[in-house]
Structure 1
Amino acid sequence: MEFSLNEWKVLLLSTVPLGELRVSIPYGIYIGLSPIKTFLLACIGNFLPIIPLLLLLNPISDIINKVPKINNYYQKFLMKTRKKSGNVEKYGAIGLLLFVAVPLPGTGIYSGAVVAFLLGIRFWYALISLTLGMVTAGIAITLASTGAKQLSSLIYDFEYIIAGLFILSIAIWFIKKKRN
């Protein structure tokens, strides 16, 4: 399967921290890609950094802790972030999912991965939460980008994705309930 230049642009734009899905999906639809193809490419591209982020944040933190001048600022940053992460901390992995699912600036997978690290959310819970939040945000952005005119045709295509999100959310809830 070969990708066109425009498809590569959407895929790569979605990996960039400042834009993520909020830029790549409207761009893909604007340049004429189908909403479903744009959604899938953007989600694939946005998923690519999740695992490296989750795996590398702890070693990077360890390195920062060894540099005294940087460590002081870093510890202040950690304290402020932990204080401001109330609902995410209260609800754990589900709070993280909701945090990433809201398609606002600063609530994508990059900031979600940092929050997961700071709150000590385990790898698999963080991975599932970030992925589900990303897909939920992607659906919202795609629907908003296509407008009400195309909404009815998209709902049929997204019903399977929504059903999958629902099933995964229930699975997370059961895992969390079993853990407590």
Structure 2
Amino acid sequence: ILLTFAPVFELRWSIPIGLFSGNIEVPIIGVMQGFALPVEIVFITCVFANAMLGLIAYFFFEKIIQFFLTIKIVEKLYNHIIIRGQKQSKELIEKYGFWGLAIFIAIPLPGSGTWTGAAIGNFLGIGYKRFFLANLVGVTIAGAIVTAITLGLFTFI
């Protein structure tokens, strides 16, 4: 579960670690021992942990933004760039924001997971309830893709 909370790794590494047995080479961290757990337990645990992480990260970024907005120059830049951008793209965000964010989170590549999705959700002004649902959809899809690849269901990749 701890690996699931780490930026970049998230469930993209925690699912293989949970499913495989033996030593597994993990970039940056080194060699980890696989747990050889049942696929259902690994999938549900990793998806749940990653979905909860998304909500925590969303509020974390919200607090960070609020903190930096106490600095006048940052507030001016934020209002000029972010708020103006939100207003200009309001229709697109309302139309594609949910699915766009869900698909972005679902892509199982470093930099496109829950942490980045939470930051984007904040910057786009997507409320936490809508973000949580988009994150849950994205994380579930990512978990299914990573699990399928780990189990060898996509041998052509």
Residue type of the alignment partner of 1:128: L
* Counterparts of residues 78-157 of structure 1 (less than 5 Å): 89=93, 91-148=96-153
Correspondence for 1:5: none
Aligned-residue identity in percent: 28
Correspondence for 1:16: 6
What SS does the corresponding residue of 1:121 show, helix, strand or coil?
coil
- Provide structure 2 residue ranges, at least 5 long, that are not aligned to the other structure: 21-34
Residue type of the alignment partner of 1:124: K
What SS does the corresponding residue of 2:111 show, helix, strand or coil?
coil
Residues matched between the structures, number: 134
Quote how far apart the aligned CAs of 1:111 are. Answer: 0.4
Residue of 12, 15, 19 corresponding to 1:29 = 19
Correspondence for 1:49: 53
Distance verdict in 2 for CA 1:72–1:94, change over 3 Å = same
Partners in 1 of 2:111 and 2:140 — Cα distance? 16
Q: Is the 2:105–2:139 contact (alpha carbons within 8 Å) kept by the matching residues of 1?
A: yes
Greater relative contact order (CA < 8 Å, ≥ 6 in sequence): 2
* Per-residue CA distance 1:25-57 (angstroms, 9 max, x = gap): 111111311222111121122122222222332
Correspondence for 1:173: none
Quote how far apart the aligned CAs of 1:69 are. Answer: 7.6
- Provide structure 1 residue ranges, at least 5 long, that are not aligned to the other structure: 1-10, 150-180
* Counterparts of residues 35-74 of structure 1 (less than 5 Å): 35-67=39-71
* Per-residue CA distance 1:4-40 (angstroms, 9 max, x = gap): xxxxxxx221111121011101111113112221111
Distance verdict in 2 for CA 1:14–1:69, change over 3 Å = same
Residue type of the alignment partner of 1:33: L
Runs of 4 or more, structure 1, over 3 Å off, are 67-79
Partners in 1 of 2:127 and 2:62 — Cα distance? 12
Q: Is the 2:101–2:135 contact (alpha carbons within 8 Å) kept by the matching residues of 1?
A: yes
Residue type of the alignment partner of 2:41: K
Give 1 or 2: higher strand fraction: 2
Residue type of the alignment partner of 2:10: E
Q: Is the 1:21–1:138 contact (alpha carbons within 8 Å) kept by the matching residues of 2?
A: yes
Q: RMSD of the TM alignment (CA)? A: 2.9
Q: What is the TM-score with the length of structure 1 in the denominator?
A: 0.63
Q: What is the TM-score with the length of structure 2 in the denominator?
A: 0.72
